Copies of this chain bind each other. A is one copy, B any other.
Amino acid sequence: MEAPFPAFPDVLYTDSLKQDSNPWIDRLRSGDPRALARAISTVENRAEGWSELLKALFPYTGKARVIGLTGPPGAGKSTLVDQLAKHYRKEKQTVGIIAVDPTSPYTGGAILGDRIRMQDHYSDPGIFIRSMATRGSLGGLARATADAATVLDASGRDLVMIETVGVGQDEVDIVRLADVTIVILVPGMGDDVQTIKAGIMEIADIFVINKSDREGAERVEREIRAMQSLAMRGDRWTPPIVKTVASEGVGTKELARAIAEYEAFLKKENLAFKKNVENWQLRLVEMLRDAMLEKARKQIDGGSLERYAAEIAEHKRDPYSLVEEIVRGAERT
């Protein structure tokens, strides 16, 4: 690939972000996909200047609608997201997509999918797609996703879609920051669908039954309805069930309408702000945890961590007292 634009040195962030006018922020806000990709990498990897970048971008955030989509593997999430993206593009809205795959803790498989999907929309700078795979076990993926959404929001995208595979705690953490959460199910998942559904009834604002031309779509619908009658929501919204065949574009309009209706409901009931405050409470605690952990890690470098672990494994030291000592050490810094 050609490189028609100058390198994008991370260090420039730190130097220039505090100035009132910043060419990188300007490029980002102009919608330049390469500036976007670079900025997301910076915050995702906690590269130099990440914190200054987020601080500088924060005033521009809060404008994008954030839609979260989750469901089991094979539910057709990507196809549905692509259909939604095309729909909103027709309405001249700019779209950012974050595709998260937390199911594979050791592989970086997301990258390939990213490239394949990118090609489809390559000619349209109004759609930006970014994939994220698992980054270790310290809840880093939810944090990275939130920060990437912040960058996309600040860059002026009208709509940010976050799609994630699976329905465990990781996915709940990831989609939690969305204004609208869509849970995608498919017919023919067998009895295990019960187990999967138990955890997500509470987070779904809208249900989608994709591949609804398959046998069993009515059964899934009945099951959702049955579980809905038991579920408790904090508001007066009854999540609608939208049937789609994403591969043929069937139901996309209906889904977009359901999204708009829920957004109108949030506005009418004045719930959007409340939801936002609740999300920030959770995010603040997570950000604090990360910051404190980083501080704690500085207390024990890699070498002494291994030595401590060996001493514990040999029963020469108990880990509970050790952690107390280290935390006390941090206090004295």
Which residues of A are interface residues toward B (Cβ below 8 A)? 51, 54-55, 58-59, 61-62, 72-74, 102-107, 109, 134, 137-139, 141, 165-170, 172-173, 190-192, 195-196, 198-199, 202, 273, 276-289, 291-293, 295-297, 299-300, 305-306, 308-310, 312-313, 315, 318-324, 326-327, 330-331, 333
Complex contacts, A192 vs chain B, CB 8 Å: 72-74
**CB contact under 8 A between A327 and B137, given known A169-B170, A321-B55:** no
Apart from A54-B320, A284-B312, A292-B296, what 10 extra A-B contacts exist at CB < 8 Å?
A74-B190, A74-B191, A137-B173, A169-B170, A284-B322, A284-B323, A285-B296, A288-B327, A295-B327, A295-B330
Closest chain B residue to A106, Cβ basis:
B202
Complex contacts, A299 vs chain B, CB 8 Å: 288
Question: Whole-angstrom distance between the alpha carbons of A170 and B139 in the complex?
Answer: 10
Question: Whole-angstrom distance between the alpha carbons of A283 and B138 in the complex?
Answer: 11
Q: How far is the CB of A243 from the nearest CB of chain B, in Å?
A: 21
CB pair A169–B102 under 8 Å, yes or no, is yes
CB pair B196–A309 under 8 Å, yes or no, is no
CB pair B293–A285 under 8 Å, yes or no, is yes
CB pair B72–A104 under 8 Å, yes or no, is no
CB pair A319–B73 under 8 Å, yes or no, is no
CB pair A74–B202 under 8 Å, yes or no, is no
**CB contact under 8 A between A103 and B199, given known A287-B323, A305-B285:** yes
**Majority DSSP secondary structure for residues of A touching B:** helix
Selected contact of A319 from candidates B137, B284, B326, B333, CB within 8 Å: B284
CB pair A169–B105 under 8 Å, yes or no, is yes
**CB contact under 8 A between A292 and B330, given known A55-B318, A281-B306, A319-B283:** yes
Question: Whole-angstrom distance between the alpha carbons of A196 and B168 in the complex?
Answer: 13
CB pair A327–B291 under 8 Å, yes or no, is yes
**CB contact under 8 A between A289 and B292, given known A55-B321, A137-B172:** yes
CB pair A58–B105 under 8 Å, yes or no, is no
Top 5 A-B pairs ranked by shortest CB distance? A292-B292, A280-B309, A73-B195, A58-B318, A276-B313
Q: How far is the CB of A200 from the nearest CB of chain B, in Å?
A: 9
CB pair A297–B320 under 8 Å, yes or no, is no
CB pair B167–A170 under 8 Å, yes or no, is no
CB pair A137–B198 under 8 Å, yes or no, is no
Selected contact of A198 from candidates B62, B104, B173, B315, CB within 8 Å: B104
Q: How far is the CB of A210 from the nearest CB of chain B, in Å?
A: 14
**CB contact under 8 A between A309 and B139, given known A168-B102, A283-B319, A292-B289:** no
**CB contact under 8 A between A309 and B278, given known A59-B315, A139-B139, A327-B291:** yes
